[in-house]
């Protein structure tokens, strides 16, 4: 009798279990998401921790990380977007996004269509409107508050008598560079590669000179005349002629990652232009020195300040994803969960959400050069030049022009003529 009862009980439990399985499966079918990003080790470790925490809380979700360096990232991303094989969640370069949206906005999910899944009210409304929003569609969510930055060695600056704390002009920068050479002819004021020459001198200098972005998105025309470009390239030439910038042949082998240059580590350079999102690693690469974030150069008669605050990257969800809702939910956790914010801290610059900022403030992370650089960039109101000016081909043309000047291959006049010809050919294709 006892055995019969036990058997009946077991059967009942088994039937209940069998009955529950489909219900469970129906509610939470297994989901696999792919998450693609680039960045250094610290960013990768923090992002992996967030993925792990999300998976633990949502056992039916598996997130496959795809991460590495930014080398070839965009090339891979483009082919994946076109072929419909892109990851579900993608870290996106801000400069690339306008081109993708112009080609086909259907690549991306509009986060505003999922208010029940993601809370965008934790972002400042105006910041969100200027970062990742296209014609009212929020295709990208900014990963941080950042912008151009200037990092300088405070010990050297004090010894040599350089002041980057107060606003200074491009001419002041030139004079400060000369002072560095007078102090020690093996030292240079600036460490700059091809990428920095374009983003930190050519573009802001031209913008300040003309009041326009290099290429104007609305008119699809140049925002400058030949004389403006000649003036810009001549300024770069004077920086090299006076030893303000380290010789290009010393720097160019290190590509865009100047923090690996032994001369930077060995304190042979006083400062470098970088971004709020990369300023901490740049300072960390030289542990024996103390650093501060400085102001950025603005011409006395600037028509536009040339510098502006934006974000280092966007997070987007591919519209081709089979699990859009799950991907959006994950990003809600990524941006708005306090535990996730504790893991991510400022690995993508100062967090853009109130949740992230509160957590970083509690942890004492809203201090230091990254935060200072964000505070500084927010004081400038230059025009955002994302779009045609930041397209890959234009970037290459402008970098080539600056590098030719740096190597002394031709006069600024000749190089300006060639550059304008190339830019006009580019514009004609648009």
> DSSP string covering 150-216, please?
EEEEHHHHHHHT---SS---HHHHHHHHHHHHHH-TT-EEE---HHHIIIIIIHHHHHHHHSS-SEE
Please answer whether residues 245 and 406 qualify as being in contact, where contact means their C-beta atoms are separated by less than 8 angstroms. Answer: yes
- 424 near other proteins, judged by CB under 8 A: no
Give the nearest distance from C-beta 319 to other proteins in angstroms.
Answer: 14
How far is the C-alpha of 171 from the C-alpha of 174, rounded, in Å? 5
Under the binding rule (CB under 8 A), the answer on residue 252 touching other proteins is yes
Site pattern 206..245 for other proteins (x: CB under 8 A): ----------------------------------------
Q: How far is the CB of 68 from other proteins (least distance, A)?
A: 12
Q: Which residues of 47-85 are buried (b: 16+ CB within 10 A; e: fewer)?
A: beebbebbeeebeebebebeeeeeeebbeebbebbeeee
Applying CB under 8 A, the span of 96-104, 224-232, 283-291, 334-342 interacting with other proteins comes to 96-104
Segment interacting with other proteins (CB under 8 A) among 54-62, 85-93, 112-120, 400-408: 400-408
Number of residues that bind other proteins (CB under 8 A): 30
What is the closest distance, in whole angstroms, from the C-beta atom of residue 104 to other proteins in the complex? 5
CA proximity to 98, closest of 339, 388, 383:
388
- Helical (H) or strand (E) element with 346: none
> Judging by DSSP bridges, how do beta strands 269-275 and 146-153 pair with one another?
antiparallel
Residue 161 within binding range of other proteins, rule CB under 8 A? no
The stretch near other proteins (CB under 8 A) out of 75-83, 130-138, 158-166, 294-302 is 75-83
Q: Does 250 bind other proteins (CB under 8 A)?
A: yes
Q: Which two tokens stand for residue 246?
A: 């380290």
Would you say 112 or 426 has its CB closer to other proteins?
426
- Residues 253, 287, 288, 301: which binds other proteins (CB under 8 A)? 253
Figure out which of the listed residues 67, 78, 257, 289 binds other proteins, where binding follows CB under 8 A: 78
Name which of 48 and 422 has its Cβ closer to other proteins: 422
Q: Which stretch binds other proteins (CB under 8 A): 267-275, 285-293, 335-343, 403-411?
A: 403-411
What DSSP line would sit under 280-339, residue for residue? HHHHHTSTTS-EEEE-----TT-SS----EE-SEEEEEBTT-S-HHHHHHHHHHHHH-HH
- The yes or no reply on residue 379 touching other proteins (CB under 8 A) is no
Structure tokens at 72: 């070839």
* 85 interacts with other proteins by CB under 8 A: no
Enter the tokens of residue 179.
Answer: 């002072």
User: Rounded to whole angstroms, how far apart are CA atoms 214 and 225?
Assistant: 10
Interface residue list for other proteins (CB under 8 A): 74-75, 78-79, 81-82, 100, 103-104, 194, 247-255, 262, 392-393, 396, 400, 403-404, 407, 409, 425, 429
């Amino acid at each position: 009798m006892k055995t019969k009862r036990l058997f009946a009980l077991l059967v009942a439990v088994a039937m209940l279990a069998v009955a529950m399985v489909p219900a469970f499966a129906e509610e939470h079918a297994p989901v696999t998401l792919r998450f693609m990003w680039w960045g250094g080790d610290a960013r990768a470790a923090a992002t992996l921790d967030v993925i792990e925490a999300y998976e633990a809380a949502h056992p039916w979700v598996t997130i496959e990380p795809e991460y590495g360096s930014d080398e070839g990232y965009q090339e891979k991303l483009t082919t994946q977007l076109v072929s419909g094989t892109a990851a579900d969640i993608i870290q996106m370069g801000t400069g690339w996004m306008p081109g993708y949206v112009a080609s086909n906005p259907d690549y991306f999910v509009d986060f505003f269509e999922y208010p029940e899944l993601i809370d965008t009210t934790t972002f400042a409304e105006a910041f969100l409107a200027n970062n990742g929003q296209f014609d009212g569609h929020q295709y990208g969510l900014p990963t941080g508050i950042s912008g151009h930055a200037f990092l300088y060695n405070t010990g050297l600056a004090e010894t040599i008598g350089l002041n980057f704390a107060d606003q200074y002009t491009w001419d002041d920068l030139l004079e400060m560079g000369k002072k560095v050479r007078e102090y020690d002819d093996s030292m240079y004021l600036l460490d700059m590669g091809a990428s920095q020459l374009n983003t930190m001198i050519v573009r802001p200098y031209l913008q300040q000179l003309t009041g326009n972005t290099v290429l104007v998105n609305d008119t699809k025309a140049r925002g400058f005349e030949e004389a403006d470009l000649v003036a810009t390239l001549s300024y770069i030439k004077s920086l090299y002629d006076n030893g303000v910038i380290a010789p290009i042949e010393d720097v160019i082998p290190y590509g865009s990652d100047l923090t690996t240059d032994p001369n930077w580590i060995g304190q042979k350079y006083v400062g470098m232009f970088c971004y709020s999102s990369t300023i901490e690693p740049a300072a960390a690469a030289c542990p024996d020195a103390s650093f501060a974030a400085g102001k950025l150069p603005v011409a006395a008669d600037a028509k536009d300040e040339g510098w502006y605050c934006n974000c280092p990257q966007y997070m987007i969800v591919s519209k081709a994803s089979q699990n859009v809702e799950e991907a959006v939910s994950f990003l809600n956790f990524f941006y708005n969960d306090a535990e996730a914010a504790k893991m991510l801290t400022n690995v993508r610059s100062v967090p853009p959400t109130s949740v992230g900022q509160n957590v970083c403030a509690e942890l004492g992370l809203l201090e230091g050069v990254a935060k200072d650089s964000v505070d500084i960039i927010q004081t400038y109101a230059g025009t955002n030049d994302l779009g045609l000016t930041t397209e890959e081909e234009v970037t290459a043309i402008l970098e080539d022009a600056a590098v030719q000047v740096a190597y002394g291959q031709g006069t600024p006049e000749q190089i300006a003529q060639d550059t304008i010809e190339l830019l006009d050919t580019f514009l004609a294709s648009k």
